[in-house]
Amino acid sequence: MSLTQMRIFKAEFFKALSSPVRIAILDLLREGEKSVNELTASFEIEQAGISQHLAILRAKNLVKNRKVGNNVYYSIADSSIFTLLDDAARIYQNNLIDIQQLKESVLG
């Protein structure tokens, strides 16, 4: 894979993570496998909308699914995604600390 191909992959990968709903789905799946119905119950979104988000995550191999009768169950395909999400949370916390310190220095 060339450097350009890798950059394109990364851009598309992060685009798949650009929705708060998709991040929330991944957070729910951190707890373990869930059916589409269980995931839908956690949001104020129609099942078709959740299915679209799941399709995007599945296309990037972030989640996998299995069908049992009429039910489809989703789980995390690669748990290393949580390292990335946890790192993002740490960056967010560090930014909050920096903003708070800046506020305190300005306001005294």
Q: Per-residue DSSP letters for the chain?
A: --HHHHHHHHHHHHHHT--HHHHHHHHHHHT--EEHHHHHHTSSS-HHHHHHHHHHHHHTTSEEEEEETTEEEEEES-TTHHHHHHHHHHHHHHHHHHHHHHHHHHH-
> What integer is the mean pLDDT of 59-81?
97
pLDDT at residue 102, as a whole number:
66
**Local confidence band at 62 (pLDDT 50, 70, 90 cut-offs):** very high
Check pLDDT > 70 for residue 61. Answer: yes
Check pLDDT > 90 for residue 70. Answer: yes
CA atoms within 13 A on the CB side of 82: 13
pLDDT in tens, 7-21: 999 999 999 999 999
**Local confidence band at 55 (pLDDT 50, 70, 90 cut-offs):** very high
72/75 Cα distance (integer angstroms): 10
Predicted structure pTM score? 0.85
Buried b (16+ CB within 10 A) or exposed e, 40-68: beeeeeeeeebeebbebbbebebbebeee
**Local confidence band at 77 (pLDDT 50, 70, 90 cut-offs):** very high
> What integer is the mean pLDDT of 79-86?
96
